[in-house]
């Protein structure tokens, strides 16, 4: 379907088509790109092709691998063009498996299979996104009106160096800080796929949940149910539950934790039963807040037990998870394809991981990768995803309060805290033992604050009587230049070598071991 955009185009319209082309009066000056899953980039950029982020081995884990090399400005489900006069043309799918790209003065949208609805808006940006959000909400549902729980999460201070004594010391140290949930992250499980307590948790998971509940909070747990490690028992015992590629080989869900991951086939009845039983088990242990991560694995391309478009297959898996965990569990989806998760989870991570540093020069400049852990990356993509807020609670990832253990400036920590206030989703990983009394007071004030947030424009928000400007985080790093390009190419190559990644993981593990030792003084 071809549509001409002129001054007499209605502000909003909805059409059904497998392909739609919007003919703009002239090429726009900027394009809004929307990445596929939580960690993928969302940003306003100029029209030049986005650099292909490195290393390629991470495309499956950080982007939609099928489009990671697309030379034209591209968006998953939605894209928007900013015209010279400041008005924008937004093209957004109201269904799944849809893409948008800009080719000169043509804004094109297509469904990977079949046809579906498209929402088109021509007008002011502050009307375009809310109108699209409304149309999506009518199809997928809206976010609950109740406030998001306030969470302490173990990841960004302890990483995988968690064990029973450390977590107990932290839970005790949090005293009466007003958290609603204490969430145990990655590091408790035997393996990816084998979701049982490992030997660092000799009392078991029910005992850990009990410990949390004894402090008056809900217990939260991290799992990555839609993928499994090659070495896991699950994969060895049930290879038939896993996605294959066209050549009949197991489809890779990425390289992480020092090894290859495979993707569970969410259309396989036995795999579905296993997923449901896992959710019931976790609830029976006493966990009522579930952070389900690396969910993109359910929506990869491949051959499935029952043929289905990939995002429909994912949504089927998500329904199984949601039904089995129960409507009363709080479900945070992470590493999750955005639109297919709507209506089935309570909250959605809408950016990459934060980190104790603002930006890694290696990742940002040399590897041109805006999806790796880093506070600037997290703020950039989250701010550009805030139009999702009426549909799902938006998790910007944790904020930092302690100066210890990170290299962020006071201003950078504040920006992250303010973003959490704008999102209405408040979390931290800070160790009570690392906070000064003043930092602890700031955290308490943050957790109890009930501020009114209003968006002023693309980058500025009003928080009660203050204006917050997120622009320090929003631009994209420059391309490597001169001698840097050689280092960049070498790093890009090295980053694709599983042996090099294994070595990095070993170094990481030994650092974590040291960290664990130093924590004994807590
Ligand atoms: C636990 C973590 C934390 C975190 C999640 C997720 O390779 N990667 O690109 C990559 C991105 C994110 C990531 C891990 C790897 O973090 O977002 O909060 O739960 O898993 O492993």
Residue 99, pLDDT above cutoff 80: yes
Spatial separation of the C-alpha atoms in residues 161 and 170, rounded to whole Å: 13
E strands, 124-174, are 151-153
Q: Which atom of ligand 1 is nearest to the CA of 185?
A: 19
Q: 136-147, pLDDT tens digit by residue?
A: 999 999 999 899
Q: How far is the CA of 89 from the centre of ligand 1 (A)?
A: 34
Strand-pairing partners, residue 229, are 261
Banded pLDDT at 296 (limits 50, 70, 90) = very high
Residue 515: predicted pLDDT: 85
**Residue of the nearest CA to atom 16 in ligand 1?**
353
Main-chain dihedrals φ then ψ at residue 495, nearest 5 degrees: -65, -15
Distance CA(442)–CA(436), nearest Å, equals: 10
pLDDT at 393 > cutoff 80: yes
Q: What is the pLDDT of residue 128?
A: 98
DSSP string computed for 383-436? HTTGGGTTTSEEE---B---STT----HHHHHHHHHHHHHHT--EE---GGG--
pLDDT of residue 89: 98
Total count of residues recorded for the chain: 522
Residue 84 — φ and ψ, nearest 5°? -55, -35
CA 299 – ligand 1 centroid, Å:
17
Percent of the chain with pLDDT over 90: 95
pLDDT digits (tens, 9 = 90+) for 415-463: 999 999 999 999 999 999 999 999 999 999 999 999 999 999 999 999 9
Q: Please tell me the distance between residue 389's alpha carbon and the centre of ligand 1 in angstroms.
A: 22
CA–CA distance, 256 with 275 (Å, rounded to integer): 21
Is there an atom of ligand 1 within 6 Å of 155 CB? yes
Collect all residues with Cβ–Cβ distance below 8 Å to 101 and sequence separation of at least 6: 70, 72, 73, 74, 75, 79, 107, 108
Compute φ and ψ for 163, nearest 5 degrees: -160, 175
Hey, CA dihedral for 70, 71, 72, 78, is it positive or negative? positive
Q: How confident is the model at residue 159 (pLDDT cuts 50, 70, 90)?
A: very high
| DSSP characters over 335-401 | S-BSGGGTTT-SEEE-S----SSS--HIIIIIS--TTSS-HHHHHHHHHTTGGGTTTSEEE---B--
Closest ligand 1 atom to 257 CA: 21
Is 40's C-beta closer than 6 angstroms to any atom of ligand 1? no
3-state secondary structure of 199: coil
269, two tokens: 């009845």
Cis peptide bond N-terminal to 55, omega within 30 = yes
Indicate whether residue 381 lines ligand 1 (CB < 6 A).
Answer: no
pLDDT in tens, 15-29: 999 999 999 999 999
- Ligand 1 pocket: which of 225, 292, 293 to mutate (most atoms within 8 A of CB): 293
Could you tell me if the CB of 395 is within 6 A of ligand 1? no
- Residue 203: is its pLDDT beyond 90? yes
Is 185 touching ligand 1 by the criterion CB < 6 Å?
A: yes
For the whole model, what pTM was predicted? Answer: 0.98
Most informative mutation of 258, 335, 351, 360 for ligand 1 (most atoms within 8 A of CB): 335
Using alpha carbons, list the distances in angstroms from residue 204 to 71, 186, 196: 50, 15, 8
Q: Which atom of ligand 1 lies at the shortest distance from residue 335's CA? A: 17
CA distances from 75 to 68, 93, 101 (A): 11, 11, 6
């Amino acid at each position: 379907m071809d549509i001409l955009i002129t001054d007499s185009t209605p502000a909003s319209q909805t059409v059904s088509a497998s392909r739609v082309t919007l003919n703009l009066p002239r090429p726009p000056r900027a394009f809004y790109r929307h990445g596929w899953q939580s960690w993928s980039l969302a940003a306003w950029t100029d029209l030049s092709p986005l650099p292909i982020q490195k290393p390629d081995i991470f495309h499956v884990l950080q982007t939609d691998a099928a489009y990671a090399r697309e030379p034209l400005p591209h968006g998953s489900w939605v894209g928007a063009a900013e015209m010279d006069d400041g008005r924008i043309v937004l093209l957004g799918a109201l269904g799944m498996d849809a893409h948008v790209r800009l080719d000169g003065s043509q804004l094109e949208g297509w469904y990977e299979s079949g046809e579906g609805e498209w929402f088109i808006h021509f007008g002011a940006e502050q009307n375009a996104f809310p109108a699209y959000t409304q149309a999506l909400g009518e199809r997928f549902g809206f976010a609950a009106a109740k406030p998001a729980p306030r969470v302490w999460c173990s990841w960004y201070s302890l990483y995988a160096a968690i064990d029973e004594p450390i977590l107990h010391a932290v839970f005790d140290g949090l005293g009466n800080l007003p958290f609603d949930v204490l969430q145990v992250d990655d590091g408790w499980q035997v393996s990816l796929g084998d979701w049982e307590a490992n030997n660092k948790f000799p009392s078991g998971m029910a005992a850990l949940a009990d410990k949390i509940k004894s402090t008056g909070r809900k217990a939260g747990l991290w799992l990555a149910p839609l993928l499994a490690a090659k070495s896991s028992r699950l994969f060895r015992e049930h290879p038939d539950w896993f996605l294959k590629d066209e050549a009949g080989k197991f489809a890779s869900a990425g390289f992480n934790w020092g090894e290859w991951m495979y993707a569970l086939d969410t259309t396989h009845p036995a795999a579905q039963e296993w997923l449901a039983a896992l959710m019931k088990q976790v609830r029976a242990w006493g966990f009522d807040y579930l952070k389900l991560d690396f969910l993109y694995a359910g929506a990869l391309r491949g051959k499935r037990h029952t043929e289905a478009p990939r995002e429909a297959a994912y949504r089927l898996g998500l329904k199984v998870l949601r039904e089995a965990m129960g409507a009363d569990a709080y479900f945070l989806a992470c590493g999750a394809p955005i639109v297919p998760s709507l209506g089935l989870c309570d909250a959605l991570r809408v950016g990459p991981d934060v980190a104790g540093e603002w930006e890694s020069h290696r990742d940002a400049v040399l590897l041109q990768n805006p999806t790796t852990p880093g506070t600037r990356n997290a703020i950039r993509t989250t701010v550009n995803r805030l139009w999702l807020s009426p549909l799902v609670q938006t998790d910007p990832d944790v904020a930092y309060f302690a100066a210890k253990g990170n290299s962020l400036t006071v201003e950078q920590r504040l920006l992250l805290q303010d973003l959490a206030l704008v999102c209405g989703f408040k979390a931290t990983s800070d160790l009570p033992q690392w906070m000064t009394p003043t930092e602890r007071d700031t955290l308490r004030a943050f957790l109890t604050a009930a501020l009114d947030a209003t968006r002023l424009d693309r980058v500025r928000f009003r928080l009660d009587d203050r204006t917050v400007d997120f622009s320090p985080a929003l631009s994209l790093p420059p391309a490597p230049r001169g001698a840097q390009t050689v280092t960049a190419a070498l790093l890009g190559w090295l980053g694709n070598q599983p042996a090099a990644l294994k070595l990095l993981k070993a170094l990481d593990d030994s650092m974590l071991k040291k960290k664990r030792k130093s924590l004994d003084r807590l």
